[in-house]
Structure 1
């Protein structure tokens, strides 16, 4: 038995896209249509839909650093330069 959820509206402010099971990105318990929307369009990344321009609805101070960017930053700083304390 194949259970699919109905398409939901993207949680990105002003986004007109629908979130399907095939293209579902989750962040903080909300569903988004793309990684750009889930990260609130860092560096003004456009919505993948040509008809939607939700990136213009997100204020610069509301944009989040993506989890993948945080993971990359942590990996770049490991191992830390400080010696292990006894």
Structure 2
């Protein structure tokens, strides 16, 4: 079972591998404005998370997501709906 905190940590690990100045990566960092992730990098992040959790993440999950914490929250909701309680 995955908690929101473990998902946030996994997202941060992935982002720290992708972002040159990884010391600035935190749960409330804005992925586009603060970390400079463009759409290709966001897709790479989703693919890494799909592999990690063995799920298929719909791209529209990114519509209202700006930070790793928000992404984790959206994933918890999505995984709960798709796979039962998370």
Question: TM-score under structure 1 normalisation?
Answer: 0.26
- Quick check: which one's strand share is greater? 1
Rg larger for: 1
Ranked by relative contact order (alpha carbons within 8 Å, sequence separation 6 or more), the top structure is 2
